[in-house]
Amino acid sequence: MHDVLQDLLPHLEEVQKHMHVALASDEPKVAGLISDLGTFHGKMLRPALVLMFAEAVGNVSAIHYRISAALELIHTATLIHDDLIDDANTRRGQPTAHVRFNNTTAILLGDYFYTHAFNLVADLMNPGVTKRLTATTNVICKGELHQQSVARDVKLSEAEYNQIIYGKTAVLTELAGELGAVEGSAEQRRAAAAYGKAAGMAFQVVDDCLDFSGDPQKVGKTLSTDIERGRLTLPIIRLLENAGAKRAAYELQLQTVTTPEQVAAVRALVIDSGAVDAALATARAYVAEAQRQLVAFPDGLARQRLWDLAEFIVARDF
C-alpha cells in the first residue's frame, strides 16, 4: 500500500493533521486516551480514493482534506467497535482499544470518533455533503446489524452476503469516490462512485479471505474471528455451494464450532477445498469492474494510481 500511495504522502499527512486537530481535547485524561491509542487508523484507503479522484478531475483542495479526515475517522470508529464485537486482541500489530483500556472506554472512543467526523463535515457548511455522510453512516450501522442477525445462518445467500459487505465496507468507499470527484462531470461522479463501490466490495471479500489464509504477522490483526462468530463469508458460501452430499455435515460443523480446535478444523477445510481461491476470483472480478470505470477520466498519473490501487486490493497481505 505504501508504494501505491507514495506520491500522495504529503496530502495524506495533511489529512492526518486534520484528524489530530479534530480529535484534540482540552480534557487531559481524554487527550491521554487518544494519545495512548496511537496510530490506530486504517490503511488510509478512503482518503486515498478522495484525493486520487480529486486529482483525476482537477486539484486537491482544503475541502478534500476535511472530507478525507471525516471518512477515516468514521472508518476508525467502526474498527474500534468491530474489534470489541469480535473480541480481537490486535489491530495494526498493537493491542486493540478494548484490550488496552476496557470495553466501555472502547465504545465511547468509537462514538467520539464518529461525532468528530460529523463536526468536520458540518464545518464545510454544505448540507448535501453532511447528509450524504450521515446517510452513509446509517447504512454502515444497518450492515453491521444485518451481519449480526444472520450469524450461523448456513442458508445465507451470496446476494444477502453482498448486501452485508456493501453496508459494512463498500458504501463508505463508494462515498469516498463520489465526494473526491465532486467537481467533475456527472459522468465522472457516477464512475468514481461505481469504482469506490466495486473496490470496497473487493476489499471486503479479500479481508474475508485473509481471515482464513492470511499471515497474522503481515495482516497485523487477530484472524479466524469470522469462524468463531459464526459469520458466513464468501469463502464459506463457496464451500457450501460445492459441498454436494457433504453439505449437511459441513452445515452442522459450522453451526457448532466453538473451540480453537474446531475453528482450526473449519479453517483447514475451507482452505483445502479451494473455497478461498474461488472467493478471491470474485474479488478480482470486482477489481476489474472498478478499473473499467476509469475510462471516464483523462489518461495520466491520477488514473494510473487508481488502476494500481485496485490491483493492490487483491495482492495485499497473503
Q: Is residue 308 scored above 80 in pLDDT?
A: yes
Domains and CATH numbers, the chain: 6-313 (1.10.600.10)
Sign of the CA dihedral 316, 107, 113, 195?
positive
Position 5 scores a pLDDT of 73
**CA atoms in the 13 A half-sphere facing the CB of 112:** 19
* C-beta separation of 168 from 143 below 8 A: yes
pLDDT digits (tens, 9 = 90+) for 31-54: 888 888 876 666 789 999 999 999
Task: Determine the average pLDDT of the residues in 123-128.
Answer: 88
Q: Is residue 114 scored above 70 in pLDDT?
A: yes
Residue 67 and residue 77: Cα distance in Å, rounded? 15
Strand (E) positions, the chain? 90-91, 94-95
Position 54 scores a pLDDT of 97
- Record the pTM: 0.92
